[in-house]
Amino acid sequence: MTLPDKKTAYWLQLISYFALIGFITAWATILAPPTSFPISLILITCVLPLFLPLRGVLHGKEKSINWAAYLSLLYFIHGTMEAVADPTTRLLGLIEVIISLSVFLNASLYIYRLKKS
């Protein structure tokens, strides 16, 4: 089995990163909006950190993509906690785990390809 080339790895990490942003936004607004907190507060605390390395991620900068991968681990922890703790949001938590792992693995693949070329 061969690994994807640098351009494919870049697009994979970019798509998975935007999927994480979109999923977290959809979760907080449409899929399971919070009843005890304002939606704007949830969006600020959950989605805003993903926008911090966005410029570097779009330009394929190594350091920004590393930070995006590190940030995705926080969403992995959140998804795991939701999947275990609350049966009503178990499926959403598992989807978040899958997407955050995808971000981490695709970012790692891109950095690997970046170092090889």
Tokens of 38: 């304002």
Side-chain-side CA neighbours of 91 within 13 Å: the count stands at 3
The stretches in the chain having pLDDT less than 70 are: none
Supply the range of the domain harboring residue 112.
6-116
For residue 2, with 0-12 CB atoms within 10 Å meaning exposed, 13-18 middle and 19 or more buried, which class applies? Answer: exposed
Q: Give this prediction's pTM.
A: 0.94
In-domain check, residue 57: yes
16: in domain: yes
The whole-number pLDDT of residue 4 equals 87
pLDDT in tens, 6-35: 999 999 999 999 999 999 999 999 999 988
pLDDT for position 1: 74
**How does DSSP assign 38-55, residue by residue?**
-HHHHHHHHTHHHHTTHH
**Is 1 contained in some domain?**
no
Residue 106 lies in a domain: yes
Q: Domain total for the chain?
A: 1
| Position 54 in a domain | yes
